[in-house]
């Protein structure tokens, strides 16, 4: 309709009417966070899992998308909505790269490592140093291997389904401990 009404300026008018790429990416990321949050809330309703969403990081910019406290430990979950194949690439002595749609996305792991450090500090400060801590990049739309869980720098790369299976596993944390850990983390890391 714009092209017909304004044949000479249609391209300019259409490009100016589109939201900026940053805004589009933010909305996409928000949809990924909501999808993972819905999964966690559904699992938490069954118990004994407790989920904390959108937590602030003291004295730092950014937030933690989700924290799940399950029988197998505490999971710091960074929700990602990327399209394309997700894989790891071994570079030999130079380490391992995270590749998504053939683009190097290894920097995503730095953000997850910062989030893990904040949660580890909170656990240690509240006498929960022995609680296992897991970092997860949870892909809501990425193409991951079906029968093999990917791991890079000790962080898990999972789909929502794969995350759900991990959270359903039996572990050493009983319900009272899960509640204590969740309370300590909720106090130490208030909502963003």
pLDDT in tens, 118-150: 999 999 999 999 999 999 999 998 888 887 888
Reported pTM = 0.82
Domain-wise residue ranges, the chain: 20-188
Residue 18's pLDDT band, with cuts at 50, 70 and 90, is low
Residue for token pair 């990327």: 82
Q: d(Cα 135, Cα 91) in Å, to the nearest integer?
A: 22
């Amino acid at each position: 309709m714009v092209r017909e009404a304004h044949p000479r300026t249609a391209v300019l008018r259409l490009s100016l009417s589109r939201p900026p790429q940053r805004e589009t990416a933010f909305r996409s990321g928000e949809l990924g966070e909501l999808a993972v949050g819905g999964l966690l809330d559904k699992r938490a309703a069954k118990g004994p899992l407790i989920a904390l969403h959108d937590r602030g990081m003291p004295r730092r910019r950014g937030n933690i998308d989700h924290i799940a406290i399950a029988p197998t430990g505490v999971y710091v979950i960074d929700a990602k909505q990327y399209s394309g194949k997700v894989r790891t690439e071994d570079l030999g002595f130079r380490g391992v790269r995270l590749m998504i749609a053939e683009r190097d996305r290894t920097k995503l792991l730095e953000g997850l490592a910062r989030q893990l450090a904040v949660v580890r500090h909170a656990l240690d400060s509240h006498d929960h140093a022995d609680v296992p801590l897991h970092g997860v990049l949870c892909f809501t739309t990425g193409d991951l291997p079906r029968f093999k869980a990917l791991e890079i720098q000790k962080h898990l790369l999972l789909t929502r389904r794969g995350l759900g299976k991990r959270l359903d596993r039996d572990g050493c944390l009983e319900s009272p401990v899960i509640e204590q850990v969740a309370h300590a983390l909720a106090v130490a890391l208030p909502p963003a």
